[in-house]
Chain A
Amino acid sequence: MRVLIPSALHSYTTQSWVEAEGNTVREVFDDLERQFPGIRFRMIDEQGRIRRHIRLFHQREMVFDLATPLPADGELLIVQALSGG
């Protein structure tokens, strides 16, 4: 599936859209980590929680659970909710 990577993580992927495999959000993140070592921990903490300002969207719906199933031909959008100054 196609995954949109936020600009803050382009240092890992060098591009906005990447391909990753997996039947769930968790598996897609595992594949991202395999391809781009270190990227998962920047978005998911060591207790498996999505970090506070990371937002995941699938079919225009926000995803809160890493166990959410994903169709192989779908798109996962990873967005960083920027705040601060």
Chain B
Amino acid sequence: MSTQETKQGQLVLLVATRKGAWLYHTDATRHSWRVDGPHFLGQIIHHLVLDPRDGRTLLAAAKTGHLGPTIFRSTNLGKTWQEAAKPPAFGPAVNGLAASAVDHTFWLTPGHADEPEVWYAGTSPQGLFRSEDGGMNWAPFSYVNDDPQYRQWFGTVQDGTPDGPKLHSIIVDPRDAQHLYFAMSGGGVHESLDGGQSFTPLVDGMEVVEGFDPTDVSFHDPHRVSLCPSNPDRLYQQNHCGIYRLERPGRRWTRIGRNMPKEVGDIGFPIVVHPHDDNTAWVFPMDGTEVWPRTSPGGHPAVYATHDGGETWQRHSNGMPAEQAWWTVKRQAMAADRQATVGLYFGTTSGELWKSSDEGQQWECLARHLPEIYSVEVGYPR
């Protein structure tokens, strides 16, 4: 993000929900907001992403009730949409494995800056897909979808999240288009150094549910992995079992969530990294005790921030309800903008959209009464 872009930048929040999508437009001051929506009212939108490379191409991962999944594309910020000619779909059964069908596309990642038409998609059940024409035609990518070892690591539907196991957190190293990461719930974190010709698990140091074997990749449940734009050798992860940091080229994750307050714990879905400072990250803790309510611990919602790479954590809840707020924030539903003083945003499953214009110090509700929010992303239209 150049300084010029930051000054000029119109900013748009892309809010995908269980029943449609909304766009919230503002300028660099972030004082007033204009809502545009609903788009796709009644359709399940898992992810809505604006291409940072052109500032124009918007992709939406959609599923309409019980109809099959598809991708919609807009190049005018949602004034008109065009359906993908060939949405992500698995190939025929091979290697003696059962045939798979995409239930929904869960995750969208724009490709490397040097590959302007490339996008990646992750699906449920787990599948990795790629488009080379800006999201209109998709094909299975790499070998993982039909690899017997990866199929074993995918586990079964029973091992995944309530609405299906997912491939998510597809990350392209900004220095190298061939260097890729993805994560799976369940199935661990994986890395390729050769553009997807080979992937290897990256799970050392990650913990699993008590009683399970941490050397079995299929038991690992990363909820969200984020790479620091200011230091691509540093990754943060919110896992089913804690918060982690990884320093590359090292291969062992460190559980920095041990430093969270004991009464809050280090369980959650999203983790958001600072665009300019690799020591700063934010999480939205949830209750992972007993039957796993997955709500704000004690009904006291808060964002927790670290400014020293996870050594210490600070609670930020100014402006949020002080009690009786049983929020859940899903793994894609928290995001940061790229302003000099970073804005933070999250959406709850109870349909509230919250924002902070000062890196989490003070919070304000931007919208309520929306459907269940699945994802919140920030885009910079050009």
Contacts and interface: CB of A to CB of B under 8 A. Distances in A.
Interface of A: 8-9, 37-38, 41-47, 49, 51-54, 80-84
B67 A43 contact: yes
Contacts, number: 55
Contacts of B101: 45-47, 49
B68 A42 contact: yes
14 contacts: A37-B83, A38-B85, A38-B87, A42-B67, A43-B68, A44-B68, A45-B102, A46-B101, A47-B90, A47-B99, A51-B67, A53-B66, A54-B66, A80-B66
Contacts of A49: 101
A51 B87 CA distance: 16
Q: Chain B: interface secondary structure?
A: loop
Contacts of A8: 64-65, 67
B89 interface: yes
Given A41-B68, A54-B66, 18 more contacts: A8-B67, A9-B67, A42-B70, A43-B67, A45-B68, A45-B89, A45-B102, A46-B90, A46-B91, A46-B102, A47-B100, A49-B101, A51-B68, A53-B65, A82-B65, A83-B66, A84-B65, A84-B66
B92 interface: yes
Interface residues of B, number: 19
Contacts of B92: 47
Given A38-B83, A80-B65, A46 B70 contact: no
CB-based closest 5 A-B pairs? A53-B66, A46-B89, A45-B101, A42-B67, A47-B99
A8 B85 CA distance: 18
Contact of B66 (A46, A47, A82): A82
A38 B73 CA distance: 14
A82 B42 CA distance: 12
A8 to B, nearest CB: 6
Interface string B330-355: 00000000000000000000000000
